[in-house]
Amino acid sequence: MQLEVTTVNPPATHMKPRTSADLQQRVRAKIRELVSELQWPIEVRSSEEPVPTITCNPFRKVHIVHMPERFGLLDALHEVIHAWLCEKVHPIFGTVVIDGQTEESTLTLFMQHESLYTCAQDWFVDHWLIHWFPEEYSKTLKAYLRVLKLLLARDPGALRTDFNMACPAGLLFAEVHRAGIEAEVPDQVWDMYDSFRRIDPSRPSAAAMLELLNSLADQLPRYGGPQLVFQLSTDKEIHNLIIREVETCTVPRSASSSRSAR
């Protein structure tokens, strides 16, 4: 299967925000800019969730935006970037990667390990938040670090036992370092962190996404999970996601990563 690597070259943002009002204006402008480049129709629906979400459906070729009464503009931009990458690069960056013809085994595994898929997508999506709004998004990352510190104070062993906590933590430290923030990566999530940092999020492609998914999936057995393999089918116009569970008797690599990052 040949998958082309697509380099996305969005317009650069030149002026740093000086006030909160200026930042909001610039984020709104970026949202309008990306939405103007979308070809699929957008449906807006109300939501009771605390943050906006978007359903990018390549099978129906539609984006459905779920909007709460109040929301953060960077959260909204995050969701629009999903739609933008879904259309401009590959549907694997959208939020609907399975349809009615998807194998039941894949559907079950996807639902069981959705956090792995979400973290992999967010590595590519959040890159643009760092690129366009580094100062403001750095504040968000620092806030996440404080929350993680509080969570670990309550459960110090969580990063060793809970994949659904370790994977987002690995993503967080990878984004923190990409944003130029100093932070020490806990040993428990070093391999997870290394999986992210080995993939360049500024060059999104289906191949890069699959590489990241499978690198993260390699670490599931360490947390008592199955060994999974992510693939894309090529028998349809829209490439369906395929997730296979394979037998393994090996432990994911843990000492192979070079601790060269700060």
Quickly state the pLDDT bin for 37 (edges 50, 70, 90): very high
Lowest mean pLDDT among 37-41, 50-54, 231-235: 231-235
Q: Which percentage of the chain shows pLDDT scores above 70?
A: 78
Over residues 95-112, mean pLDDT: 61
Work out the angle at residue 184's Cα, subtended by the Cα atoms of residues 200 and 192, and round it to the nearest 5 degrees. Answer: 45
* CA quadruple 226, 57, 81, 76: dihedral sign: negative
Q: What's the pLDDT at 172?
A: 98
Q: pLDDT tens for residues 213-229?
A: 999 999 999 999 888 88
- Judge whether residue 29 has pLDDT over 90: yes
Q: Return the closest-CA partner of residue 198 out of 181, 184, 182, 218.
A: 218
Q: pLDDT tens for residues 114-139?
A: 889 999 999 999 999 999 999 999 99
Q: What's the pLDDT at 15?
A: 42
Q: What's the pLDDT at 115?
A: 86
Q: pLDDT tens for residues 53-89?
A: 888 888 788 999 898 988 889 999 999 999 999 999 9
Q: What's the pLDDT at 57?
A: 83
Q: What's the pLDDT at 1?
A: 35
Token pair, residue 67, equals: 């909007």
Q: What's the pLDDT at 181?
A: 97
Q: What's the pLDDT at 76?
A: 92
- Judge whether residue 260 has pLDDT over 50: no
| Long-range Cβ contacts of 32-38 (<8 Å, 24+ apart) | 34/77, 34/80, 34/81, 34/83, 34/84, 35/80, 37/84, 37/87, 37/88, 38/63, 38/83, 38/84, 38/87
Q: What's the pLDDT at 166?
A: 95
Structure-model confidence comparison of residues 100 and 87, the more confident one? 87
Over residues 177-193, mean pLDDT: 95
Looking at every residue in the chain, the average pLDDT score rounds to: 83
